[in-house]
Structure 1
Amino acid sequence: MYDLTKVQNPEVLNAKSVDLVGGYRMFLPEKGSPFFLGGKLIHLGHVRNPTETYTPTEKAIDTAVYGANQTVLKVTTKIEETGAFETASVRDLRLRGLWAGSAVYTAGDAVLAETFAPSTEYALDDLVLPTVPNGHYYKVTTAGTSSSAEPTGWKTDGGTNQSGGVVFTDQGEIPAGSNIVVIPRNHASFNGMLVDVTTSAIAGRTSELFIAPNVSLRGDGYGSGRNGTDETTLKFAYTILSAGDYTLPATLGDFGTVKISGGYDVLGVPDKDVTATVDKIIAAYYA
C-alpha cells in the first residue's frame, strides 16, 4: 500500500484547498451610456451558466533550409477571450434594454414617449403614442411638422405612418411598466467594463473578482428555465478586448491581485468587503 503523504502534495489533503462555487454576481459600469438611468452600474441579477472560451491566433515560423518548406515553430500572437452567461432576472427592464441593445427612457430623460399632437414640430427619434392607445409606440424617422390631422389606423406591423411632413415608424409593443419604454429594434453592442464576482458555497471562504475594463457585450437569444417557459432567461455574449494601460485603483485594499489577459483577478476578498471593493473599482473607473 502506498503512503499517500509521500506521493502527493500533502496540502491537497487540507480542507482549505477545497472550494465550491456558490454563485456569480456581475456588474456593468460604462461612461455615458443610456442604459444606466443616472446610475453608474447595472447589476445583472440572477446570473447562471457562465462559460468562457479562449481562441489563440498563431503565426507559423517556416523554414526551407532542407529544400522543402517546413513549419518549425508556432507563436501565439493573440488570445481572444469570449464568454456567455444567462440572467434569470428577465423582469428588469434595464436588463431587457441592455439585452436588446437599445436605449431606455423614463420620465426624467430628454426623449419621452408623448401622445401625438397636431401642428407640432417633431425631431428625429422623438417617441410618440396614438391619442387612442393601441399598445404600440412610434419613433420619428423623418423629422418635420405634423398636420392638423392624426394618422388614421396607426400601423402595428413595423410600418410607417405620416402626418404632414413627419413619418412615425412602429417600434412594437410597449413593455410592461408604463413609465419605461424600451426600443427593441435598435440592436447594438454595449462597450464598457465587466466586474465578475465569484462567491464560495463554503461559509467563511473568500470571493474572487475578475475585472475586465474593456468588453463588448450583446444580447444573444434566450435560455430556458426548469420548465422551459416560466423561467426563460436572457442570454448574453461578450468579448474581452485589450485592457490597454488600465491599472487597479490604489484604494482597492490589500488583496492578492494577478494581471491576466484582458484585466485583473482580485483574490481573497472577504464577503463583507465585496460590495465596498466593487464600489471602489467602479468609482475609479468614473474618476
Structure 2
Amino acid sequence: MEQVELGTSLKKEVMQMDQWSTVRIGPEPHIAVDHMGAGELVIFLHGVGGNKRNWDDNLAAFGEHFHAAAWDARGYGESDDYDGDLDRLDFVHDLSRVLDFFGEERAHIIGLSMGGQIAMGFAEHYPDRLLTLTLCATVNGFPHLSEADRAEFVRRRKEPLVGGKEPKDIAVPVAKTLVGPKASPEAFDKLVDSISRLHKLSYIKTIESSVKSKAHTKLGEIRVPTHVMCGEEDRLSTPTIAREIAAMIPNAEVTIIPEAGHLINIERPVEFNSAALGFLLRHRKRG
C-alpha cells in the first residue's frame, strides 16, 4: 500500500490513483484515509472499537464503481491523537475536511455504529454535502439510558484501561459481545485485532463523549436516499432499533443481514457488499 503525505501539489496526482493508497489529511490532527478507484466519492466510517482496516473486505468491491475511501477517525489507527476532550462535532467537521481534500462537494457516506452516529451528525450539519446516507448497526444517541446507566457504561469500559490494562487485554471479551453466534473465527480475529489497535487515551475520550450524545432530532429533514442496515443477531443495535431509525427518515430503506452480529461488513462481507453497493449503484449521479 502506497503512503502519500498531504500536499496541495499532490492533490491531482492522488485523485488519479486507481490502486489502493493512503493519504494523511491535515491540518492537525492529521486524518489517515485509505482510498482507491474513481468516480463519486464513498466514505466509510468505522465504529468506536474500529479503524479503517475494518473495511478491507469492502473497499475493493466499491472501488470498482466509485472512489472508495475509509478513514481512521481522529485518535484512531494511523490518524493523530489530539489534545483536550473530544467534542463529537469534531468528527463531523473532520469528515468535511476529507471531502475538501478530495475536491468533492458531496459524497456517499457509509457509517457503522459510532460511524453511523457521525454520519447522522454530518447529515444535520452538512446536508448539502450528501449524495446518499447508509447507516449500519447504529443507534440515535443514548436517550434510553439514565444518568446512572451512562456512568456505568463508561465505568465498565474505562476502569480496566485506567487500571493499567491495554486495549489488547480487553479485546477478546469485548469482541465476544459484538459478533453474532455464527461469526467465523476469521471475522472474530479481525475484530480482536481491531480492538487491540485502539489508542487507549483517545478511546477513553470517545467513550466518555459518546454517552453525552443526544438523539438527532432532524432525521425527518434528510432528503437524500437513505439505507439503514443491521445484523439479524445484533444485540447492541437491534433490527427493531434499525427500523425505528428508518421510520424517522423519509423513504428510508431497511436491510437486515441474516446471521450477522454488530460488525455486519466483517461477518458477512459478501452479503453486505451486495446490499450496500447495490443501493449506491441505484442512486449514483455519474455514470
Category of TM-score, reference length = shorter chain = under 0.3
Structure ranking higher in helix proportion = 2
Length-normalised TM-score, structure 2? 0.26
Length-normalised TM-score, structure 1? 0.26
Structure ranking higher in strand proportion = 1
Q: Which structure has the larger Rg over C-alpha atoms?
A: 1
